[in-house]
Amino acid sequence: MFGYIIKRIFSMIVTLFFIATITFVMMHSIPGGPFTRERALPEAVEKALNEKYNLDAPLWEQYVDYLKDLSTGNLGPSFQKPGVTVNDMIGQGFPVSAKVGLIAVAFILIIGIPIGIISALKQNTAIDHIVMVLATIGVTIPSFIIGTFMIYLFAEKLGWMPAGGLSNWKTYIGPVVSLAGFSLAFVTRLTRSSMLEVLRQDYIRTAKANGLSRISIIGKHAMKNALIPVVTYVGPMVASILTGSFVVEKIFAIPGMGKYFVESVTNRDYTVIMGMTLFYAAIYIVMVLLVDIAY
């Protein structure tokens, strides 16, 4: 196992190198630059900015400098926010997004997996039909619809929670439910279908024939294999949820990573785009590694 993990870590580093290279090339291939505006800056000002950030250097030199900075963990300065680095933005935004995301992930796993198992065990009953209807609704309704509805009903009409911010525990309800909605429904459906497939296998019939209890069959034999597809989905899901959703963060006025990422795209802030893309890729790759270890 240790040797396998070392190989995977080396593979992760190579993958991140290629992601950094591709992102760098794509950003510098886009027409215009980070200081391109509808109202053009004075030529002298734009020249001074390009010199300050070394953007007037040959592309290969910029690339080498970028890799040198990456090797030390420095993701570079923001071109649009003087005195602010990409590391600062991630340091400010990620803990906020991750806190909301972790609660959403726990909500998904604690509710989605048990409900999926119960639905499979109660196949074709009223409970199963209700669960499947709710899961189908959850898969089809976008997060911004859920978020808008929760603000309208629970914040505006009933006054049970604030409309935005993260001032107390009530303020987490809206963004957590909005973030978790699709994944909760998907995990429930995936768990149910996987459990139904496993329960039809010969080794489950053998376990029943040997007189094992229902709890032992489900807990010890069926769940291990039934949860493999769920674990496969949960890894990338965690990476996506932890790094935040711009739509949900915008609706609930949450200062997370989604806000910075969208602003960087709008402002052509190259270093922020590249840094946050690389950060997300790193989390995604780590989660895939953890999924493989869980297998």
Question: What is the average per-residue pLDDT within 254-283?
Answer: 83
Instruction: For the chain, give the percent of residues with pLDDT over 90.
Output: 14
Q: Give the three-class secondary structure for 254.
A: coil
pLDDT digits (tens, 9 = 90+) for 99-139: 888 999 999 999 999 999 999 988 889 999 999 999 988 88
Mean pLDDT taken over the chain: 83
HSE (CB half, 13 Å, CA atoms) of 57?
A: 13
Q: Between these two residues, 259 and 190, which has the higher pLDDT value?
A: 190
In angstroms, the Cα distances linking 159 to 23, 165, 217, 249 are 45, 15, 46, 20
Residue 166 is given by DSSP the state -
For the segment 141-159, the average pLDDT, to the nearest whole number, is 82
| pLDDT value of residue 206 | 83
Q: In the predicted model, what is the mean pLDDT of residues 244-258?
A: 81
Burial class (CB in 10 A: 0-12, 13-18, 19+), 184: buried
Q: Which residue has the higher pLDDT, 253 or 111?
A: 111
For 156-256, where are the alpha helices, taking DSSP H only?
173-199, 202-209, 214-216, 223-226, 228-242, 246-251
Cα separation, 55 vs 33, in Å, equals 9
* CA dist., res. 101 & res. 245, Å (int): 9
pLDDT over threshold 90, residue 170: no
Mean pLDDT of 86-105: 89
pLDDT at residue 77, as a whole number: 83
Do 291 and 234 form a contact (C-beta atoms < 8 A)? yes
Tally the C-alpha atoms within 13 A of residue 53's C-alpha that lie toward its C-beta. Answer: 21
Alpha-carbon gap, residue 66 to 221, rounded angstroms: 51
**pLDDT tens digits for range 11-57:** 888 898 999 899 888 887 776 666 666 556 666 766 776 677 677 77
Q: How far apart are the first and last CA of the chain?
A: 12
- C-alpha to C-alpha distance for 120 and 135, rounded to whole angstroms: 13
State the burial class of residue 213 (Cβ atoms within 10 Å of its Cβ: 0-12, 13-18, 19+): exposed
Are the CB atoms for 38 and 32 separated by under 8 Å?
no
Beta carbons of 79 and 154 less than 8 angstroms apart: no
Q: What is the largest CA-CA distance in the chain?
A: 85
What integer pLDDT is reported at residue 192 of this predicted model? 92
